[in-house]
Structure formats: structure tokens, C-alpha cells
Amino acid sequence: MVPARSSFTMAALLISWCQLCLDGSNALAQGYTNLISDASLSQWTKADGKPVDGGWVLEPGGVLHLSGKGGNLISRDEFGDFDLWFEYRISEKGNNGIKYRVKKYGNSLLGLEYQIQDDQAFPKMAEKHRTASLYDLFVPSQPFYVRDYKPLSDYNVGRIVVQNGRVRHWMNGRLIIDEYFGTPRWMEAVANSKFRNHEGFGQNTVGRLMLTDHNSEVWLRNVFIRRLDGCSQI
């Protein structure tokens, strides 16, 4: 059964966020892995499996900067249930995203996506294409799930939790997406999306992460992940 959502749940999740917020000083102690820990970006490859070269550069301070054509990056490891934290900054009129449970459908590598975008530059953009949405599938899951925008010069904090058939997206401490795989609501969303012709889209229980290159400048830092397979619900 899918639990009912409420404002009480929202408040509880905000408290949980405040208690669990990560940075480089405490993430490793809590069992998280730093996904951009070395200049060679050894935990990532290009989409064709080759080492990362050009475009994506790890700058001083642990900032991963996409400034040119670097192509999509794919994690070497696959993840099932996980808790992913990241800080991001997008350029003016920029568009990017982080995909997860990525797998091959025919000749295409596809996955679910946490959208990252300069929303203010695209006021007519569809709601399900805005920042922190589950791209092309879901708008914010409740009317009171409201985005907290920061200036383009500031970093935002994103979080994706996939666990026990449930997916959640946060933006700067605010829950935006809270959905369940395989429900009638989920199947309808897929049927009305660009992914409708990819059988079983989003139903795989493991997959890789993808840092996308949509020809926009983007900065990422403090990218930490913890596996949740077999863990208590968070």
C-alpha cells in the first residue's frame, strides 16, 4: 500500500534533512562514498567506456566543472537503492541533470533524471521539466512541495533517495518528488512521456548514474552516495 502524504510528513522530512545534511567533513564517517574524489575521475567513464578526457575538470576545492563538450559521464558502479547528495550550480539559461538507474534500451542509455535548469530563463517550460522534477514524468508530488531557488552564483543542494520501490527528490531541503515505482500513477506517467516506447522504462532495480552534458556549463561538488540495499527506511 502507498502511504498517504500529508503536511506532517513534509515537516518530518524537513527535520530529517536538517539532521542528515552532509559535507566533506562528515559524509565518509556516515558511510558515504565521494564520487568525485580524484582528478582522474576514476569512478566515471565516458558513455563508450573510455576514460574521462576534456570538458569535465576537477578544479581546486573538489569542484567538478563542465565547461566544454565533455559528453555524458557514466558511473563505473551500478546502484540499486541509494541515498545521493550533491551540490550544483548551473549557468545562465543552462540545462543539465543527474540520471540514475541508467541502462541500455536498444541503442540508448536512459534513466530517471533529477532535472537541473535555470528555470527563471524558461518561464513557459513545462512543470515536469523544471529543476528537481523527475524529468518528463512528474511535477511536484503535492501542491505544498515548493522549490527554493538560490541565485545562479550560489550552490544548491540536491538529494535523491531511491529505496524500497520509492523515489524522492529534494531541492535545498524541500521535498519535491515523492513517488512509487509500478503504481497506476507511475505507469500512466510513463505512458504519457517521451519514454513510452521503451518497454519497462524505470522498472529496473539497479543501474548506473549519469552526469549529463546538455551543452551547458555546470558545477558539481560534494557528490556523495550511500547504498541503502537492505537498510531501514529513511
Rounded Cα–Cα distance for residues 222 and 27 (Å): 9
Confidence at 23, pLDDT banded by 50, 70, 90:
low
Cell numbers representing residue 72 in the block: 555524458
Mean pLDDT, rounded, of the chain: 89
State residue 70's pLDDT score: 87
pTM of the model: 0.89
Parse the chain into domains and list their residue ranges.
28-227
The CATH topology of domain 28-227 is: Jelly Rolls (2.60.120)
Provide CB contacts within 8 A for 186, sequence distance 6+. Answer: 137, 179, 180, 202
CA distance linking residue 63 with residue 222, whole number of Å:
8
Cell of 22: 552532509
Position 10 pLDDT exceeds 60: no
| pLDDT tens column, 37-84 | 888 899 999 999 999 988 999 998 899 999 878 899 999 999 999 999
Task: Please tell me the distance from the alpha carbon of residue 122 to that of residue 88, in angstroms, as a whole number.
Answer: 19
